[in-house]
Structure 1
Amino acid sequence: MELTYLHTFLEVAKSGSFTQTAEKLGYAQSSVTTQIQKLEESYGAVLFERFGRRMKLTHAGEVLLGYARDIIRLHGESKEAVSAQHGGSLAIGTIETLAAFFLPPHLQAYQRAYPEMNVMLQPGNEPAIIEAVRTGELDLGIILDPPFADPDFHTVAVREEPLVIVMHPDHLLAGIAEVAVSDLAGESLILTEDGCTYRAMLLGALKEAAVGCKLSYEFGNLEAIKQCVVYGLGVALLPEIVVREDVRLGKLAARPFAHPACKFYTQIIYAKKKWVSKPFRHFLEQVGGSAMAG
């Protein structure tokens, strides 16, 4: 049974007229008649009887009147309560880089707007995050990738993230404006863990150009990578946001990596089948900013 029929029933009970009800609600009179008939069929009772020009509630109609008012009231309260809902949880998957150097101010602002929301941050690499969002284990993922496209996902490109070759300030590469693939010949590389998308891009570029390097160290921790570079153990490819403060303090030097495949973006991904609640929408708009508006 539709709530519309109960709304119509209440209006007829109030006005005592199918004609006036139709005019007020913008229906044809035949539509009002049909809705009341369907209610009577549903309840198995006559709800109105005619007295002169007015429709009067039968005993069955009087009984239904109280319930109809309660149903309409509770429906209105439920809509209000759900639409104003600020609680719940939000499960976010992201990589260490973005968890440490991009998300904190956004999470702080979100907590202020929705203090009752429980935000769970799950670290991982891009393939694992994408799969967890696909299966519904995560509400959304924030990845650092080339432009991501999948028919099952909505994607919001937040911003481009420059990648840089990081070296000790006294390293020879610190004396050039940007680093090409050929400039890395013979260098000791300090790599991020397997599954990192920009690591795969770097290794692919080196292989394509047949440039030989020494793969010296591999870490899943950004601070470990930076400390090895500080101690002159090699060079590394990292997002610029990771080393910005270290460069400012003179601990590291960083130069852009000049390669056509070096186009990486911070992107929000979520399943197209995902229900977007108000708190979820607020997070998307806050982090996505102008990208969501577009």
Structure 2
Amino acid sequence: MELTYLQTFLEVVRSGSFTQAGERLGYAQSSITTQIQKLEESYGAVLFERFGRKMKLTSAGETLLQYARDIVRLHAESKEAVSRQNKGSLSIGTVETLAAFFLPPYLQTYKQDYPEMNVLIQPANEPAIIDAVKAGALDMGFILDPPFADPELFSATIREETMVIVARPDHRFGRWNGVTATDLNDESLILTEDGCTYRAMLLHALKEAGVRCNFSYEFGSLEAIKQCVIYGLGIALLPQAVVAEEVRKGQMIAVPFVHPSCRFYTQVIYSRKKWISKPFRHFLELVAGPSIKINEV
């Protein structure tokens, strides 16, 4: 038995006529008649009897009426619930930089739009995020990397991030417009943790230029790095967005790092096998813009 037959049954009850029901539903009267006959065959009972020009329910029809209303209502509710998909969880892997200085305003807006969605943020480095997204352990990942491509993953560039050398306000770089790898000779460097893509780029650039530096400290915490820079313990390479507040307060200076390989972008990645639910699509469009080309399974 098709749901359509029950919907037709309810329309005949409302209009009291096969003809009017057909007009409202866009069916020929013969189609209405056929649907009601099939419904009667399914239940093994006569559902309507004619009184003049009107169709009246039989006792069997009266019994079916409430069930039909409930079935059609529940079907409509289920379609709405499934299509909205406003409950569930969204797991996101992200590097610390983006977790602290990029995602928060989007997470706030998303929480307002989907208050019943549980968003799980998992900080990690790029290799771990990529592996987890491939394995399906994470729904999506946010990385800070040169343009990324992988046959198993869909990636979209959100914005380019300017990389800067940060130092105390009285450092000689404060009068410069840009810093190259050779300018870092004999400087004390404070490094981000191993696995950080811009750390790897910096070390490669220094080795390529034959520059010797003193690697003073290494931290997995951006806040720790910034505090060490403020206290004059060394200089560091960081995304400009990370130090904007400290620069505004005059606690440190930020000078662009100039190198051909220093092109980093905030990117979102997810599996090409991923089913795109409405909450998932909404978050993608929120962070990347409505024009993002979303890869559908």
Cα contact 1:48–1:55 (8 A) shared by 2: no
Once the two structures are TM-superposed, the CA of residue 164 in structure 1 deviates from its matched residue by 0.9
Q: Which residue of 2 aligns with 1:91?
A: 91
Letter in 1 for 2:247: V
Q: Which residue of 2 aligns with 1:158?
A: 158
Partners of 2:35 and 2:165 lie apart in 1 by 71
Q: Secondary structure at the match of 2:287?
A: helix
Which stretch has the larger CA shift, 73-82 or 93-102? Answer: 73-82
Q: Which residue of 2 aligns with 1:105?
A: 105
* Identity %, equivalent residues: 65
Partners of 1:174 and 1:11 lie apart in 2 by 78
Q: Deviations over 1:49-108 (max 9, x none)?
A: 775987766665444333111111222334455667755443322111122222333334
Cα contact 1:94–1:121 (8 A) shared by 2: yes
Cα contact 1:48–1:58 (8 A) shared by 2: yes
The 3 A distance-change label for structure 1 pair 60 and 141 is same
Structure 1 residues 14-25: aligned runs within 5 Å: 14-15=14-15, 18-25=18-25
Q: Which residue of 1 aligns with 2:222?
A: 222
Q: Which residue of 1 aligns with 2:211?
A: 212
Cα contact 1:8–1:21 (8 A) shared by 2: yes
Asked if 1:189 corresponds to 2:178, the answer is no
Partners of 2:239 and 2:290 lie apart in 1 by 22
Q: Deviations over 1:153-191 (max 9, x none)?
A: 554433221111223334343332112233334444322
Letter in 2 for 1:73: R
The 3 A distance-change label for structure 1 pair 281 and 173 is same
Structure 1 residues 141-290: aligned runs within 5 Å: 141-150=141-150, 153-207=153-207, 209-214=208-213, 216=215, 217-271=217-271, 273-278=274-279, 280-289=280-289
Q: Deviations over 1:89-139 (max 9, x none)?
A: 433221111222223333344444555444332211122223333344333
Q: Which residue of 2 aligns with 1:3?
A: 3
Once the two structures are TM-superposed, the CA of residue 22 in structure 1 deviates from its matched residue by 3.4
Q: Secondary structure at the match of 1:179?
A: coil
RMSD over aligned Cα, in angstroms?
3.6
Q: Deviations over 1:200-230 (max 9, x none)?
A: 22233344x3433336132211122223333
Letter in 1 for 2:218: E
The 3 A distance-change label for structure 1 pair 28 and 201 is farther
Partners of 1:58 and 1:150 lie apart in 2 by 65
Q: Secondary structure at the match of 1:100?
A: helix
Cα contact 2:166–2:236 (8 A) shared by 1: yes
Cα contact 2:85–2:277 (8 A) shared by 1: no
The 3 A distance-change label for structure 1 pair 258 and 4 is farther
Letter in 1 for 2:189: L
The 3 A distance-change label for structure 1 pair 40 and 189 is farther
Q: TM-score under structure 1 normalisation?
A: 0.78
Partners of 2:151 and 2:43 lie apart in 1 by 49
Partners of 2:213 and 2:19 lie apart in 1 by 87
The 3 A distance-change label for structure 1 pair 64 and 115 is closer
Q: Secondary structure at the match of 2:257?
A: strand
Q: Secondary structure at the match of 1:180?
A: coil
Partners of 1:61 and 1:153 lie apart in 2 by 55
Q: Secondary structure at the match of 2:8?
A: helix
Partners of 2:2 and 2:200 lie apart in 1 by 56
Which stretch has the larger CA shift, 117-126 or 24-33? Answer: 24-33
Q: Which residue of 2 aligns with 1:45?
A: 44
Partners of 2:49 and 2:247 lie apart in 1 by 87
Any unmatched runs of 5+ in structure 1?
none
Cα contact 2:182–2:211 (8 A) shared by 1: no
The 3 A distance-change label for structure 1 pair 18 and 166 is same
Which stretch has the larger CA shift, 239-248 or 6-15? Answer: 6-15
Q: Secondary structure at the match of 1:241?
A: helix
